[in-house]
């Protein structure tokens, strides 16, 4: 039996998270003894589909339908559910992006199958066994996944992309799913663009300087902003700051905020709650500034300065200016 | 047009800086912990209260959980929700079973004459993060659904939904009745007032006991990921640490 992978594509190729999902799916398919097939959505998917042989895909199904022209989550789910019925795969595996996750939940609801979200490991069987993220990655769950077809999504950036051992040529097969009118009621009708003011975005910044409750006030963020500017980076904040109204939620790092992966992360006056750490696990280095040497953030950082952020942060900014001047 | 709103919330522990498991590895050790709901769901509750303030109608909060989850229902009522439904379950249900129990409760409400125009879910529960309960409920009721929402506005029997995407927002306009799954950032929830807390104690709370279905996603054990447990290198105390910090920034390739 085959393993079907939902592949999201951009610029004529699969995106990063889809390549990660394909890598996990290949291991699953090898253990199950079946081929890897892919499903791509949209008329512009053909180019990306043809190149999937390098990632071990034998057949790429491309869904084409007017109802898929604008993103419509339930139409994506219906498309997956139709393939589930037609191909009867052992499993359907999707990247854990927001859209692919949403489409899988629709497919699971239509097909009335269980769904395991954000898996980092999966092995076939009846039931299949998976390890998945809970609490935004602060806790793992080993679970048995039942159902005639195993539905799962792969947590982003948990699997290292590997090329196929024996790359081949993918056969591209176009099809038109039978969509219902109800499937396109919820569809994107308009996109508004957010003005980022030309600054570097929190998600992409190489350096992030975050202020927590220890900053004490909205005005207290001025030195945090000055240090972020000196590093060409972005300002972040903790949830304690957001709910106090000192900074907008768009600055929040964490499980229910933005997930970041900078070269250096500098949390100032942040205690290091698990839900905060869930957002900065991807940081290469963490340098904590905190008055309390026993704060959890210190135990989770690479470097720490113990002291009052109101003194330490301006001193670092001044030292950078000095280093640049000399 | 008045709106009837249902909000679904889940009681979860406030874990603080470190997660400790029970010895059977089935749950988080909660003896010394407080409980809350997901920030996403808090925003759903706040939005429901605002919509009823704006358009009239009524709001209900629902949870599936232990008897102690009454605390989270009273918290929501302290913010202005009118009434509560507690679906008693001593153990966690998986996503499919949770959705089924919620749908049964909604159908029982309908039989009793209460029809919901709008049902709020969090985008994902704080603990399980199944990303599916709202969507399953929408399908069972045959209603349209949008997720990941940071904007919800009701007008003329429809709801305009804004979903954050890189660089902007995607807009969906759904006819009512509809299901929405929202994210923190949708609004800034109010703090409960003392009179609000007093009133919440007297608001109606109905309890039902749903049948427990078998789990399609069956938990075997929980595992705390290998602690990064780095224990930081202390670069210094106070402003004197400046030069050492600059050295680290150089090594990181930032300077
Ligand atoms: C489901 C759920 C999701 C959540 N999602 C998020 C999320 O996305 N992001 C998030 O951040 N939180 C999130 N939280 C909240 C989280 O649990 C913590 O409550 C929050 O992160 C605490 O913020 P804080 O560290 O700024 O405040 P505190 O925990 O109060 O810590 C303040 C720290 O500042 C230090 N300090 C005080 N004064 C100074 C000073 N002058 N100089 C230096 N240090 C000082 C103190 O020693 C302390 O360590 C979530 C919670 C739940 C339940
Ligand atoms: N036990 C529960 N009781 C009430 N609502 C729930 C429960 N579990 C999940 N939900 C709702 O469904 C949303 C998505 O949950 P999940 O699919 O587990 O990520 C949550 O944010 C809640 O709004």
Crossing angle for the helix pair B133-141 and B95-111, nearest 10 degrees? Answer: 40
> Counting one residue from A and one from B, how many pairs have CB atoms under 8 Å apart?
276
Q: What is the mean pLDDT of chain A?
A: 96
For the segment B167-205, what is each residue's pLDDT rounded down to a tens digit? Answer: 899 999 999 999 999 999 999 999 999 999 999 999 999
For the segment A113-169, what is each residue's pLDDT rounded down to a tens digit? Answer: 999 999 999 999 999 999 999 999 999 999 999 999 999 999 999 999 998 988 889
CB contact under 8 A, A127 and B218: yes
pLDDT at B226: 82
pLDDT at B64: 98
pLDDT at B227: 66
- Give the pocket of ligand 1 (CB within 6 Å): A 212-214, 238-241, 252-257, 269-271, 273, 275-276, 279, 289-292, 295, 308-310; B 14, 36, 38-39, 126
Percent of chain B having pLDDT more than 90?
A: 93
Taking a C-beta distance cutoff of 8 angstroms, is the pair B122, B44 a contact?
Answer: yes
B156: confidence class by pLDDT, cuts 50, 70, 90: confident
A227: confidence class by pLDDT, cuts 50, 70, 90: very high
pLDDT at A224: 98
**Ligand 2 atom showing the smallest separation from residue B121 Cα:** 23
**Ligand 1 atom showing the smallest separation from residue A296 Cα:** 49
For the segment A176-226, what is each residue's pLDDT rounded down to a tens digit? Answer: 999 999 999 999 999 999 876 777 899 999 999 999 999 999 999 999 999
**Chain A environment of B225 (Cβ under 8 Å):** 137-140
CB contact under 8 A, B249 and A231: yes
pLDDT at A199: 79
**Chain A environment of B129 (Cβ under 8 Å):** 117-118, 133-136
Whole-angstrom distance, CA of residue A5 vs CA of residue A18:
8
Sheet with B145-155: strands ordered across = A190-193, B168-175, B158-165, B145-155, B178-182, B118-122, B3-8, B57-65, B83-88, B205-208
Looking at B11-126, which runs of residues are DSSP E strands? 12-13, 35-36, 57-65, 83-88, 118-122
CB contact under 8 A, A189 and B128: no
Among B61, B134, B184, B213, name the best residue to mutate to test ligand 2's pocket (greatest count of ligand atoms within 8 A of Cβ): B134
Residue A321 has pLDDT above 60, yes or no: yes
Tokens (6 digits) for A231? 């590093």
Task: Output the furthest CA–CA distance in chain B (Å, rounded).
Answer: 71
Give the number of the ligand closest to the Cα of residue B129.
2
With CA atoms as reference, the chain B residue closest to A246 would be B188
DSSP-derived 3-state class of residue A35: coil
Task: Give the pLDDT mean for A305-312.
Answer: 98
For the segment B204-227, what is each residue's pLDDT rounded down to a tens digit? Answer: 999 999 998 889 999 999 999 986
Residue A43 has pLDDT above 80, yes or no: no
Task: Give the pLDDT mean for A277-305.
Answer: 96
**Chain B environment of A196 (Cβ under 8 Å):** 167
pLDDT at A325: 85
Identify which of A110, A189, A256 has the shortest CB distance to residue B172: A189
**Chain A environment of B128 (Cβ under 8 Å):** 134
CA distances (Å), origin A113, targets A24, A79, B127, B224: 21, 15, 21, 28
For the segment B89-105, what is each residue's pLDDT rounded down to a tens digit? Answer: 999 999 999 999 999 99
With CA atoms as reference, the chain A residue closest to B188 would be A243
Whole-angstrom distance, CA of residue A270 vs CA of residue A309:
10
Task: Give the pLDDT mean for A45-72.
Answer: 95
Interface test mutation site (partner B, options A141, A275, A296, max chain B beta carbons within 10 A):
A141
pLDDT at A326: 62
Residue B228 has pLDDT above 60, yes or no: no
H or E stretch covering B249: helix B242-251
Higher-confidence residue of B16 and A59: namely A59
CB atoms within 10 A of CB B202: 8
With CA atoms as reference, the chain A residue closest to B235 would be A305
Give the number of the ligand closest to the Cα of residue B10.
2
Cis geometry, peptide bond prior to residue B159 (ω within 30 degrees of 0): no
pLDDT at A166: 85
What's the complex ipTM?
Answer: 0.98
pLDDT at A165: 87
**Ligand 2 atom showing the smallest separation from residue B64 Cα:** 3
Give the number of the ligand closest to the Cα of residue B131.
2
pLDDT at B212: 84
Q: From its phi and psi, is residue A232 left (phi > 0), alpha (psi between -120 and 50) or beta?
A: left
Percent of chain A having pLDDT more than 70?
A: 99
**Ligand 2 atom showing the smallest separation from residue B127 Cα:** 18
């Amino acid at each position: 039996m085959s393993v079907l992978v939902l592949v999201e594509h951009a610029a004529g190729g699969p995106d990063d998270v889809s390549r990660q999902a394909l890598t996990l799916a290949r291991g699953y398919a090898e253990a199950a003894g079946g081929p890897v097939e892919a499903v791509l959505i949209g008329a512009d998917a053909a180019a990306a589909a043809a190149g999937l042989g390098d990632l071990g895909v034998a057949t790429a199904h491309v869904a084409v339908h007017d109802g898929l022209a604008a993103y419509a989550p339930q139409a994506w789910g219906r498309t997956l559910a139709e393939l589930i019925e037609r191909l009867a795969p052992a499993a359907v595996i999707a990247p854990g992006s927001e859209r692919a996750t949403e489409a899988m939940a629709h497919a699971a609801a239509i097909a009335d199958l269980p769904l395991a979200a954000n898996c980092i490991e999966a092995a076939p069987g009846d039931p299949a066994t998976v390890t998945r993220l809970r609490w935004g990655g602060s806790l793992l769950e080993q679970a048995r996944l039942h159902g005639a077809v195993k539905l799962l999504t792969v947590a982003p950036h948990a699997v290292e992309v590997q090329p196929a051992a024996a790359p081949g040529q993918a056969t591209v097969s176009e099809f038109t799913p039978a969509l219902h009118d109800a499937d396109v009621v919820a569809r994107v009708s308009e996109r508004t663009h957010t003005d980022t003011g030309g600054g570097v975005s929190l998600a992409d910044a190489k350096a992030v300087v975050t202020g927590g409750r220890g900053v004490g006030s909205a005005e207290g963020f001025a030195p945090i902003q000055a240090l972020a500017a000196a590093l060409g980076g972005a300002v972040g904040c903790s949830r304690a700051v957001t709910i106090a109204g000192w900074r907008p939620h768009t600055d929040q790092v964490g499980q229910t905020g933005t997930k970041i992966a900078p070269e250096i992360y500098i949390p100032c006056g942040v205690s290091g709650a698990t839900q905060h750490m869930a957002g900065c696990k991807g940081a290469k280095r963490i340098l904590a500034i905190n008055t309390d040497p026993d704060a959890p953030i210190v135990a989770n950082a690479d470097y720490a300065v113990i002291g009052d952020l109101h003194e330490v942060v301006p001193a670092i900014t001044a030292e950078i200016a000095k280093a640049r001047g000399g | 047009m008045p709106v009837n709103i249902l909000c679904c919330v889940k009681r979860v522990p406030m874990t603080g800086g470190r997660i400790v498991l029970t010895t059977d590895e089935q749950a988080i050790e909660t003896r010394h912990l407080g409980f809350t709901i997901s920030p996403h769901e808090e925003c759903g509750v706040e939005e429901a209260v605002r919509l009823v303030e704006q358009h009239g109608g009524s709001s209900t909060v629902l949870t599936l959980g232990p008897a102690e989850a009454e605390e989270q229902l009273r918290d929501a009522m302290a913010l202005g929700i009118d009434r509560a439904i507690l679906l008693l379950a001593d153990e966690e249900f998986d996503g499919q079973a949770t959705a089924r129990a919620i749908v049964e409760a909604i159908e029982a409400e309908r039989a009793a004459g209460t029809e919901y125009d709008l049902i709020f879910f969090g985008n994902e529960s704080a603990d399980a993060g199944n990303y599916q309960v709202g969507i399953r409920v929408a399908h069972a009721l045959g209603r349209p659904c949008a997720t990941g929402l940071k904007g919800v506005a009701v007008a003329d029997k429809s709801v305009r939904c804004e979903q954050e995407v890189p660089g902007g927002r995607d807009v969906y306009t759904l006819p009512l009745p509809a299901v929405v799954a929202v994210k923190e950032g949708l609004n800034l929830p109010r703090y409960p007032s003392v009179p609000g807390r007093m009133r919440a104690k007297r608001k109606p709370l109905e309890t039902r006991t749903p049948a427990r279905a078998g789990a399609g996603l069956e938990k075997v054990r929980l595992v705390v990921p290998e602690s990064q447990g780095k224990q930081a290198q202390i670069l210094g105390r106070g402003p004197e640490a400046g030069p050492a910090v600059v050295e680290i920034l150089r090594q990181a390739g930032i300077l």
